[in-house]
Structures are given as C-alpha cells and as structure tokens.
Amino acid sequence: MSNQEPVNSFSSRIVVLPEANIDTDQIIPARFLTTTTKAGLGKVAFNDWRYNADGSNKDFILNTIDPTEHRVLVAGNNLGCGSSREHAPWALMDYGFKAVISTEIADIFKSNSLKNGLVPIVVDQPTYDKLLKNPQQRVTVDLEKCALTLEDGTVFTFQVEEFARQCLLEGVDAMGWLQKRLPQIEAYEQSHGKAA
C-alpha cells in the first residue's frame, strides 16, 4: 500500500475477455479468500475459468498466453461488479496485469484497483470495438497524459480521478494523506461531539 512502484507509461499486448459483467467471484472465487496475505493470488485468478475440477487446464486464453507479454486485460461491459474483495485486483496484478479496460468498470473494483496500481480505463464503444477487432494488438497506457494509444495510432483520452492518479504517479497512497489530516479529524470530532 505504501510507497508502491510509481505507475506511469507502459506498452503491452492486450488479452480480451469479451464477456459482460465479469464479477469479482469469477476473478477470484470466494473459497480462495481465506488467505491472510495478498501474495500468490495470481495462480487462482479466474480459477474456475482456467481449471477443471481435477486441476487440469481448461481451454482458456489465460492458460495459453505469456502473462509478462500481456499486461492489459480488455473485458466486456461492467467489469468487476459484485463483491468488494480487494483480492480481485491483487489476483489480477499477481497474474501480471497492469491495466484493465472496459466500457464500464464497477465502482468498488475501480477504487480497489487504483489503490494497488492497477490502472482502470473506461473506454467508449468505438475504442472498445477497435480493441476487439485486433485482440493481439499492443497498446500504450500513459497515465501522465491519460492516454491509451492503440496499435493503429488511435489515441483515446481516459479519465482517472485526479487524486488517485497523482497517488499512482508518485507511488504514494491515501493512508499517508489522511494521516496528515489528523488534526482536522480531531477538530471535527471535538466540534461534532464525536471525541472518544
């Protein structure tokens, strides 16, 4: 959480999961949430899409690509809906993803992603269609410029909440920012009858 690697610009191939409404139970099924750490969740990312009950591989794209070459996940509308589990971005990042792209990204998943350096990018339908048309393409994500550049040269300017963007660029987090406000927090508690 603290002093994480600053995120700025990177290029990578995409991997496309066109299904809409990929919920966080698909990204990491609940039975893997008994962990007390964040480590090693990449191996169970999309577990039930990747593996049969006997542990053998299913015919699924995340089993065939090289995660170090495909760091951008493009998914159908409303990615990350459902549970608030931060294990979802932890699992995606541990697998190797650095950004997720969809036409809509669920609120809590988006917030959780931003806190871990996974860049959530909401694109318009034409940009999404171009990504799907060439699902092997290489894209560039530039957080400084909020620019997503497609292989055909199309540049899409995305929006990221400004505070979260600054935190990612600088590699700092909101905990320290909130702690600096403890005097104001104490004053609020005093004036609102909420002191301990």
**3 state SS of 68:** coil
Tokens of 99: 């950004």
* Binding of residue 53 to other proteins (CB under 8 A): yes
- Residue 43 or 194: the one with the smaller Cβ distance to other proteins is 194
Among 12, 116, 119, 131, indicate the residue that binds other proteins (CB under 8 A).
Answer: 116
* Binding of residue 54 to other proteins (CB under 8 A): no
* Binding of residue 8 to other proteins (CB under 8 A): no
- Residue 155 or 175: the one with the smaller Cβ distance to other proteins is 175
Give the closest residue to 147 by CA, choosing from 156, 138, 139.
Answer: 156
Query: CA–CA separation, 56 vs 182, rounded Å?
Result: 52
User: What's the distance, Cα to Cα, between the start and end of the chain in Å?
Assistant: 28
Site for other proteins in 9-48 (CB under 8 A): 19-21, 23, 25-26, 29-31, 33-38, 48
Query: CA–CA separation, 157 vs 140, rounded Å?
Result: 12
- Residue 68 or 157: the one with the smaller Cβ distance to other proteins is 157
Query: CA–CA separation, 103 vs 63, rounded Å?
Result: 25
Query: CA–CA separation, 65 vs 15, rounded Å?
Result: 8
Q: How far is the CB of 93 from other proteins (least distance, A)?
A: 13
Site for other proteins in 61-90 (CB under 8 A): 76-78, 81-86
Query: CA–CA separation, 35 vs 173, rounded Å?
Result: 23
Query: CA–CA separation, 124 vs 102, rounded Å?
Result: 8
Among 9, 144, 189, 190, indicate the residue that binds other proteins (CB under 8 A).
Answer: 189
Positions touching other proteins (CB under 8 A) are 1-2, 19-21, 23, 25-26, 29-31, 33-38, 48, 53, 76-78, 81-86, 104, 106-108, 111-112, 115-116, 161-163, 166, 173-175, 177-179, 181-182, 184-185, 188-189, 192, 194, 196
